[in-house]
Amino acid sequence: MTPDMSDVTRTKHGRPVHHWRRDVVELAALFTAVAVADAVANLIGHGPDGPTLLVISAMVLAATAGFHVWWARRHGHAPPVSDTGARPAARTRSAGPTGQPGASTDEVAGTGALWRMRTTVKDEPGSLAALCAALAEFRVDILSLQTHPLADGTVDEFLVRAPGGLQAAELTRAVSLAGGRSTWIERADAHDLVDAPTRVLGLAARTALDPAELPLALRQLLGRCSIRSLPGTPVGGGRGPEPVPVEGVLEDTVMRLRGPEGGVLTVERPYLPFTPTEFARARALVELDSRLGPRIPEGRDVLTLPEGNEITVRRIDTGDVPAAKAMHERCSARTLGMRYHGPVADADRYLNHLLSPRFGRTLAAQTTSGRVVGLGHLLWDGDETEIALLIEDAWQRRGIGAELLGRLVTMAVEAGCESVYAVTQASNTGMVAAMRGLGLPLDYQIEEGTLVITARLDAAPAVARPAYDTAQDQLGAPTRRD
């Protein structure tokens, strides 16, 4: 039988296939061995020392057979699986620690810890191979690799799965001994398993649908970073930020890009310098947003108030500034003062900034006649997120503020925000009640009559829901989506 014969021809129904030719050969060998043994016994037995030689031969054969049995049991000389046609035995390990180096319970279970790691190596042949060999010694599996060329080397960015017991310091030390420098490492999660092109395309699609997604897309693209958007002309007048060239500016841990509407977009990541590749990706994303121009997602919900009136909740932008100004004129000075915390006469000057999708998202509550009676803002403030409400006096205490607030919090959760805060006055009992109605952990800080309420979003919102939901709404009447 040839060694390369497939297992299909060598086995049948899970058992070895026996051929009659092999049986004939074995039987002939047995008869030959018996004839030879008889001839030797007759030759030696008729000699002068025949019986003694036969006894010694029997003792030698017995000792040889015993040694063979002992050796077979000690070293497990079992035939190979492919030769017997038997199924491979299941691999088992003890529940306790194993004596083999580098093995761990995570490895036995087929799991491990995910790490994102970035290090700089020399741009020369063999540098990456040495790094991979060092990781292999610790049984680290490289899931993905990105390279960022630099003037004085190459930044290699890894996503790896390491045994659960392996610490970050051990990985960093191994990489350093293999030639890596400026090594940075942090824990990763399942979202990082998405390859870079797919992730970038997904972020571009989100930005194309909604300009308010640009800061969030940049944060997901670049990791933990601070993003600040400054308008070309400040709301209060005066000198704007220093202009940025079209190609942008990269300064180690800070990148400055020209905003879609003439402002300046500043991205800062103090713990890790940006690479030219990251700068190019961020610039392409901002350029895509600029080319698409002003836009806003369509969709609106029709809610029925307890008294039977219908209101519509939808996203708005700077195109709705006139309607928002008209609402300001119908609001009392007390209502505007509690919302803007400044001179009431300046309230209209904030609307272009507040309603711009570049700085956040705005929801409006409209009557059937199209009159705006409520505004809810979700504003990106660097690493933090602010929420604010303004409800026209005649429409307060009807649940509109709570409805807008719940939808804004849901948007913040979907955007990955860890918390939201509201700045109001201690006397604004309506805003305080709406925040408490979220059912989220709240922190209160009072300074000189100004109340800052921070809601932590690590718990699921009790009232909040998707921004455009067709389910039963909290006002007690069905919601209709147009």
pLDDT digits (tens, 9 = 90+) for 250-281: 998 999 998 877 788 899 998 889 999 999 99
* Structure confidence at residue 17 as a pLDDT band (50, 70, 90): very low
Tell whether the model's pLDDT for residue 193 goes beyond 50: yes
Tell whether the model's pLDDT for residue 101 goes beyond 60: no
| Residues 59, 53 contacting (CB under 8 angstroms) | no
- Least confident range from 70-74, 97-101, 173-177, 441-445: namely 97-101
Q: Which residue has the tokens 């944060």?
A: 219
Average pLDDT over residues 35-60: 69
pLDDT of residue 20: 59
Tell whether the model's pLDDT for residue 481 goes beyond 70: no
* Structure confidence at residue 21 as a pLDDT band (50, 70, 90): low
**pTM more than 0.85:** no
pLDDT of residue 453: 92
Q: Who wins on pLDDT, 466 or 207?
A: 207
Tell whether the model's pLDDT for residue 196 goes beyond 70: yes
- Least confident range from 39-53, 134-148, 430-444: namely 39-53
* Structure confidence at residue 321 as a pLDDT band (50, 70, 90): very high
265-292 burial, b if ≥16 CB within 10 A, otherwise e? bbbbbeebbbbebbbebbbebbebbbee
Average pLDDT over residues 110-122: 85
* Structure confidence at residue 19 as a pLDDT band (50, 70, 90): low
Round to whole Å and give the CA distance between 161 and 178.
19
Average pLDDT over residues 179-198: 86
Task: Give me the residues paired with residue 446 across strands.
Answer: 451
Tell whether the model's pLDDT for residue 390 goes beyond 90: yes
Helices (H) and strands (E) in the chain, counts: 15, 19
* Structure confidence at residue 68 as a pLDDT band (50, 70, 90): low
pLDDT of residue 163: 92
Mean residue pLDDT across the chain: 78
Q: What's the alpha-carbon Rg for the chain, to the nearest Å?
A: 38
Tell whether the model's pLDDT for residue 192 goes beyond 90: no
| Residues 175, 150 contacting (CB under 8 angstroms) | no
Q: CA dist 33 to 39, 55, 313, 381, Å? A: 10, 19, 99, 94
Average pLDDT over residues 105-129: 77
pLDDT of residue 478: 45
Count the Cβ atoms, other than its own, within 10 Å of residue 84.
Answer: 13
pLDDT of residue 464: 40
pLDDT of residue 447: 79
- Least confident range from 17-26, 218-227, 282-291: namely 17-26
The token pair that represents 236 in the structure block: 């209060």
Tell whether the model's pLDDT for residue 446 goes beyond 70: yes
The token pair that represents 138 in the structure block: 């610790």
Round to whole Å and give the CA distance between 353 and 472.
33
Q: What is the 8-class DSSP label of residue 247?
A: T
| Residues 159, 143 contacting (CB under 8 angstroms) | yes
* Structure confidence at residue 480 as a pLDDT band (50, 70, 90): low
Tell whether the model's pLDDT for residue 83 goes beyond 80: no
Q: Who wins on pLDDT, 75 or 374?
A: 374
Round to whole Å and give the CA distance between 418 and 384.
8
Average pLDDT over residues 23-47: 69
Round to whole Å and give the CA distance between 292 and 228.
21
Identity of the highest mean pLDDT range in 19-33, 57-71, 97-111, 379-393 = 379-393
Round to whole Å and give the CA distance between 320 and 233.
20
Q: Who wins on pLDDT, 32 or 431?
A: 431
Round to whole Å and give the CA distance between 341 and 363.
21
The token pair that represents 219 in the structure block: 């944060």
* Structure confidence at residue 342 as a pLDDT band (50, 70, 90): confident
Q: Who wins on pLDDT, 163 or 72?
A: 163
What distance lies between CA 283 and its chain's CA centroid?
22
Tell whether the model's pLDDT for residue 69 goes beyond 70: no
pLDDT of residue 162: 92
Tell whether the model's pLDDT for residue 85 goes beyond 60: no
Residues of the chain with pLDDT > 70: what percent?
Answer: 74
